[in-house]
Amino acid sequence: MTSELDIFVGNTTLIDEDVYRLWLDGYSVSDAVALRVRSGILEQTGATAGVLQSDTMDHYRTFHMLERLLHAPTKLLHQLIFQIPPSRQALLIERYYTFDEAFVREVLGKKLSKGTKKDLDDISTKTGITLKSCRRQFDNFKRVFKVVEEMRGSLVDNIQQHFLLSDRLARDYAAIVFFANNRFETGKKKLQYLSFGDFAFCAELMIQNWTLGAVGEAPTDPDSQVDDMDVDLDKEFLQDLKELKVLVADKDLLDLHKSLVCTALRGKIGVFSEMETNFKNLSRGLVNVAAKLTHNKDVRDLFVDLVEKFVEPCRSDHWPLNDVRLFLNQYSASVHSLDGFRHQALWERYMGTLCGCLLRLYHD
């Protein structure tokens, strides 16, 4: 006796969250059945293995049919074939677009191209995430990227509108899109200690302050060839950052800056002497990072540079986080007292974001 056909169609489409998770995780039906058996469901419900097999198969088939709709979540809302209550629809979408931390760290900042897709095998082996799941996550990134890449307006809003994701997840995707678009290097060994959350935090700050959309200059002529508002960094701003070089190039200015910071921090931070010795190096590092951002390649290395030029020196001197905060605040604020420095607004726009990023990046 072999089963030829086994289907269940309900008025409301039944969705078992556990099976959905297994499907998303890329398990085959037999693996999923084995995992379900191990979860003790047979004992709880008194079902047999055959029942479980049939149920799992049926769910997989449903998910497979739903997948097409999940690629364009608004379609899931409007289709008439599967009746799914709104709360369930939201859950399906949210779970489908949820990604693994380990996976996203591997592809963050990489070009979402076929080339990268070919590397998914390696990523799968490295992270222990099934290839199927890797593909889904990669395709999600790519799909969201393609849709919002050319779009005007707030990146997060665009993602939310087209993919109906929760605020949190939409923000994460905004970061992924932003990183992929600017191709920030995140895979270097010295960056391995950073989590996706760290990068996402930085991305959000950068989107808020360093992109064209941040300035609020909505182009009046929609046909004008302006850069995308939230996805690309403000080119003009990056050009202007060269002007900051004077802070380290002008020796007087640098000394004055140092003395202002030292006076203010004396007795307030525990690593005062280390700070004093390293001030010029640190300042040079931070200003040079800014000055280099005109080149695309240096933009990509932004995080490598920040870690190399600032995080690592401080860490080797065992600066406590609080001291770093006090230093950065003082370092950024003191510039206002430098009379010879004319680019206060530019400095503010640069350092405001950078301080936030550096504090987030500063951990073990």
Partner 1 sequence: MEGPPSSRGCTSSPTPSARPQVKFGNTTFKTDVYLKSLNPHWNSEWFKFEVDDEDLQDEPLQITVLDHDTYSANDAIGKVYIDIDPLLYSEAATVISGWFPIYDTIHGIRGEINVVVKVDLFNDLNRFRQSSCGVKFFCTTSIPKCYRAVVIHGFVEELVVNEDPEYQWIDRIRTPRASNEARQRLISLMSGELQRKIGLKVLEMRGNAVVGYLQCFDLEGESGLVVRAIGTACTLDTLTNPATFLPTCHSPSKEMKESPLAHPANSHGCRSTHNSPIHTACGSRLTQNLSVSVPTLIYTGMGSAGKDGPFKALLRQQTQSALEQREFPFFTLTAFPPGFLIHVGGVVSARSVKLLDRIHNPDEPETRDAWWAEIRQEIKSHAKALGCHAVVGYSESTSICEEVCILSASGTAAVLNPRFLQDGVLEGCLEQRLGESQPPGCGFCHTPYDEVNTPFPAHLALCCCCRRQKVPDVLLTTIDLPAQAAVVGKGCLIQARLCRLKKKAQAETNATAISNLLPFMEYELHTQLMNKLKLKGMNALFGLRIQITVGENMVMGLASATGVYLAALPMPGGIQIAGKTPGDGSYEQHVSHMQRKINDTIAKNKELYEISPPEVVEEVVGSPIPEPRQRSRLLRSQSESSDEAAELDLSHGKKDAFVLEIDDTDAMEDVHSLLTDVPPPPGFYSCNTEIMPGINNWTSEIQMFTSVRVIRLSSLNLTNQVLNKNFNDLCENLLKSLYFKLRSMIPCCLCHVNFTVSLPEDELIQVTVTAVAITFDKNQALQTTSTHTEKSLQRGSSDNEELLQFPLELCSDSLPSHPFPAVKATSVDDSSFADRCGGWIELIKLKAQSIRRGSMKTSRRLLPPRPRGSQRLILVSRGES
Task: For partner 1, give the closer residue by CB, 58 or 198.
Answer: 58
Question: For residue 12, what are the contacts with CB-CB under 8 A and spacing of at least 6?
Answer: 83, 84, 85
Q: Which of 46, 86, 115, 216 binds partner 1 (CB under 8 A)?
A: 46
Q: Does 1 bind partner 1 (CB under 8 A)?
A: yes
Torsion 201-128-188-111 (CA) sign: negative
Task: For partner 1, give the closer residue by CB, 85 or 320.
Answer: 85
Per-residue DSSP letter, 124 = H
Build a one-symbol-per-residue string for 59-98: x at contacts with partner 1 by CB under 8 A, - elsewhere: ----------------x--xxxx-----------------
Per-residue DSSP letter, 51 = H
Single-letter code of the amino acid located at 102: A
Task: For partner 1, give the closer residue by CB, 72 or 246.
Answer: 72
Query: Helices 167-182 and 196-210, interaxial angle, to 10°?
Result: 80
Stretch that binds partner 1, among 49-57, 102-110, 128-136, 335-343 (CB under 8 A): 49-57
Q: Does 115 bind partner 1 (CB under 8 A)?
A: no
Q: Does 51 bind partner 1 (CB under 8 A)?
A: yes
Q: Does 52 bind partner 1 (CB under 8 A)?
A: yes
Nearest to 280 by CA among 316, 249, 239, 324: 249
SS3 state of residue 255: helix
SS3 state of residue 259: helix
SS3 state of residue 256: helix
Site for partner 1 in 310-339 (CB under 8 A): none
To partner 1, the closest distance from the beta carbon of 156 in angstroms equals 27
Footprint of partner 1 on this chain (CB under 8 A)? 1-12, 14, 45-48, 50-52, 54-55, 58, 75, 78-81
